Amino acid sequence: MSRTRTAVFAALALVAGVSGPAAAVTPAADAAISAIPCTVDYKIQNDWGAGFTAAVTVTNNAAAKSSWSLKWSYAGNQQVTSSWSAKLSQSGTAVTAANETYNGALATGGSVSFGFNGTYSGTNAIPTSFTLDGVTCNVDDGSGGGGTGNGGGSGTRVDNPYSGAKVYVNPEWSALAAAEPGGTRVSDQPTGVWLDRIAAINGVNGGMGLRDHLDAALAQKGSGEEVVQLVIYDLPGRDCSALASNGELGPTEIDKYKTQFIDPIAAILSDSKYASLRIVTTVEIDSLPNLVTNTGSRATATPNCDTMLANGNYVKGVGYALAKLGAIPNVYNYLDAGHHGWLGWDDNFASSAQVLYQAANAEGATVDDVQGFITDTANYSALKENNFTINDTVNGTSVRQSKWVDWNRYVDELSFAQAFRTELVSVGFNSGIGMLIDTSRNGWGGSARPAGPGPTTSVDAYVDGGRYDRRIHVGNWCNQAGAGLGERPQASPAAGIDAYVWMKPPGESDGSSTAIPNDEGKGFDRMCDPTYTGNARNGNNMSGALPNAPLSGHWFSAQFQQLMANAYPPL
């Protein structure tokens, strides 16, 4: 997600991104006034072709300061438009950043961070020279060590872990995919490893455990960079609004979650053997948004979600996981943020961001323990609807009034993820956060994919005739008929998006079509039954689920074949 001009940082570990009052980096105990008076880390975090967001960190190696002023000049026509945590002014190509009243003090060995937005045309070259209070700072050519090193064992996180890295191909999933007719077309794609119960840490039924996967990732890594994607998914009272993915822990078993699930995972990830891996954790799918949308007096409320809101164990559990895992330098925490068909309404959007912020500051966690968020995990929301927009009208009627959109402010996942990222920064998350979008099952290709907009006879005909997402209702989530593989995993595909990922392994069931006795803590949810006529959460529509599905997480050959057949882009 970023380009960087990196200064020499003399063993200072920086977390990517800044927001609000800048946080000084504590100098090492033996820090002394250096021959290099100052260093600067200038990062372009987002660049959308006509504008950009940048973050700057200044480290003072000279005498302590009570105020400071940093200057640089652009080689192009960049123009600063807004800033935070510093006062920026510009004359021609020359820019001056001066401290705010609250961050003027800059100790020897201390650092201060600020950010800004800008516009440009042509090229957006990174400045090559900086002065702090008139003294030239040392900036290297990017070939040495420094504040944005290679992740790995340097103790420093990169801005986007997916940038310049391979992503781990799970050999167990790969073998299942390759065994399917035509499956070798996708069996080399990276997918998430789901730690969905305590037993999964050591491996279930002779399968690979966490250490096995990390060892395999090291073997795949070679001399380059490697991302390993883990899903951390075993909260007490998990998935309070559904049954198919209920977990093993009861609503009050927060201590067991901490000591028998999170602590053992953290201990393994902390092993120096794995320090060269970039470990991405997606934390607790489908948890925190339930506290907003499925509690209280809402028609979608459930007693289980009311219980989890009252006892606080979702917030406590997520906070504890973020704190423990975030303390490991090569771990990147991405917190689950639902999807547009869940949180895109006015009643849910801002409130959910606040709940996520609350959890990110619980149980010892801070926003610095969150590197980003993931949307559409194991869901089906189309990445981009090209045949209509939220601003369209048909015969004077807004698209928002159609039955499909139903007053939502977003019609697809990319626009939602980008907007929700802005909302998350506004409530206090670092401005450097990036978003992941799970595209494993949201392609909606095949013969049913519309080639253009629907007819303008009515707003419903216009939307229904043109939408790629062919679900009966946007609330349908279980083994959806007609779905296809989406965009292949890739880094930095759009502004604010760290990567498109296949976090949900294609071919793994969402839940069983009928009740199946099991020892995995998984219940039967009628939304997985193709004969079910629905509930308040899907507008009392048919479930749209495929028949003959196995338990959640189990291999579902018919689904995998459908996903390949309806892939978009096509295989």
Asked, as a colleague might, if the bond just before 236 is cis with ω within 30 of 0, I would say no
- Nearest alpha carbon to residue 227 among 153, 167, 273: 167
> Residue type for 113, please?
S
Residue 313: both structure tokens together: 């164990």
> Residue 410: helix, strand or coil by DSSP?
coil
Among all residues, which ones are annotated catalytic? Answer: 286, 510
- The HSE-up count of residue 147 (CA atoms within 13 Å, CB side) is 29
Find out whether 500 and 487 touch, Cβ atoms under 8 Å: yes
Find out whether 233 and 201 touch, Cβ atoms under 8 Å: no
> Residue 84: helix, strand or coil by DSSP?
strand
Q: Is the dihedral of CA 434, 440, 442, 444 positive or negative?
A: positive
Q: In angstroms, rounded to a whole number, what is the distance separating the alpha carbons of residues 127 and 44?
A: 11
Find out whether 213 and 169 touch, Cβ atoms under 8 Å: no
Q: How many other C-beta atoms lie within 10 A of the C-beta of residue 370?
A: 26
Report strand pairing: 393-394 vs 372-375: unpaired
Residue 500: both structure tokens together: 């498109």
Find out whether 313 and 320 touch, Cβ atoms under 8 Å: no
Q: In angstroms, rounded to a whole number, what is the distance separating the alpha carbons of residues 344 and 340?
A: 5
Q: In angstroms, rounded to a whole number, what is the distance separating the alpha carbons of residues 307 and 291?
A: 10
Residue 495: both structure tokens together: 């502004």
Q: In angstroms, rounded to a whole number, what is the distance separating the alpha carbons of residues 377 and 338?
A: 7
Which residues fall within 8 angstroms of residue 389, CB to CB, at 6 or more apart?
A: 399, 411
Alpha carbon distances (Å) from 78 to 40, 53, 74, 365, 494: 19, 11, 7, 37, 21
- Nearest alpha carbon to residue 292 among 323, 314, 320: 314
Q: In angstroms, rounded to a whole number, what is the distance separating the alpha carbons of residues 502 and 424?
A: 23
- Nearest alpha carbon to residue 365 among 436, 280, 428: 428
Q: What is the DSSP string of 238-284?
A: -STT-STT--SS-TT-HHHIIIIIIHHHHHHHT-GGGTTSEEEEEE-
> Which helix (H) or strand (E) is 437 found in, with range?
strand 434-438
Residue 133, Cβ density class (10 Å: 0-12 exposed, 13-18 middle, ≥19 buried): middle
197: left (phi over 0), alpha (psi -120 to 50) or beta: beta
